[in-house]
Amino acid sequence: MGMEHQFIKDGKLDRGPLLAELRSFLNLMLAKMRLEVQYEIKEFEAAAGEVEHPEVLVNFRGRDQELLLQQHAELLTAIEYLTHRCLRLDPHFYDHVQFDSGDYRATRLEELKLSAKVAAQRVVETKQPFRLNPMSARERRVVHLVLKGVPGVRTSSEDAGDHRHVVIHPA
């Protein structure tokens, strides 16, 4: 058996088997990590895998919740990444299955959208490119999507790895 992707049926998430395996994996991982957090899995209508509208949202809460959110939610992001990889989820479906805690991700998305719009306005006024701070691929995608319809600007991603960031250019 190779590394073929699982839990996809007819181009969509096969939720039944996915949720069963997701619960099993999270129970094992959280027990091994000795983190005092509980999780709740919420399901939503498929919205073409939009970054802001996952089909499956795993929400953590509990005594060790703040540990998940330290360093820009580094541990939360790592748990999400490991889960995607261990379940062999197709990378095209990563945004369909997201993790959050204390509305961190939702709040971060709103901040990101606001700062992207403010930066775009500055680019329009000054006619100078503006570099945003390095961010994850998901966050860069949000910025590109938010500014896609804004007249007078275009966006690009530059650099690599942890230094990859969005640059907003005058159009």
- Arithmetic mean of pLDDT, 118-134: 98
- pTM as predicted: 0.83
Task: Give tens-digit pLDDT for 140-166.
Answer: 999 999 999 899 999 999 999 889 999
What is the distance between the alpha carbons of residues 88 and 8, in angstroms, rounded to a whole number? Answer: 10
Q: Which residues of 130-141 are buried (b: 16+ CB within 10 A; e: fewer)?
A: bebeebeebbbb
- Looking at residue 92, what is its pLDDT? 85
Whole-number average pLDDT of the chain: 91
- Arithmetic mean of pLDDT, 101-123: 95
Q: Which two tokens stand for residue 28?
A: 């094992």
- Arithmetic mean of pLDDT, 100-123: 95
- Looking at residue 25, what is its pLDDT? 97
- Arithmetic mean of pLDDT, 53-78: 94
Domains of the chain listed by start with CATH number: 8-102 (3.30.300.20), 107-170 (3.30.1370.50)
Q: How many CB atoms lie within 10 A of CB 6?
A: 14
- Looking at residue 2, what is its pLDDT? 45
- With cut-offs at 50, 70 and 90, classify the pLDDT of residue 48: low
What is the distance between the alpha carbons of residues 33 and 144, in angstroms, rounded to a whole number? Answer: 36
- For residue 69, what are the β-bridge partners? none
- Looking at residue 1, what is its pLDDT? 43
Give the DSSP per-residue string, 17-57: HHHHHHHHHHHHHHHHHT---EEEEEE----TT-TT--SEE
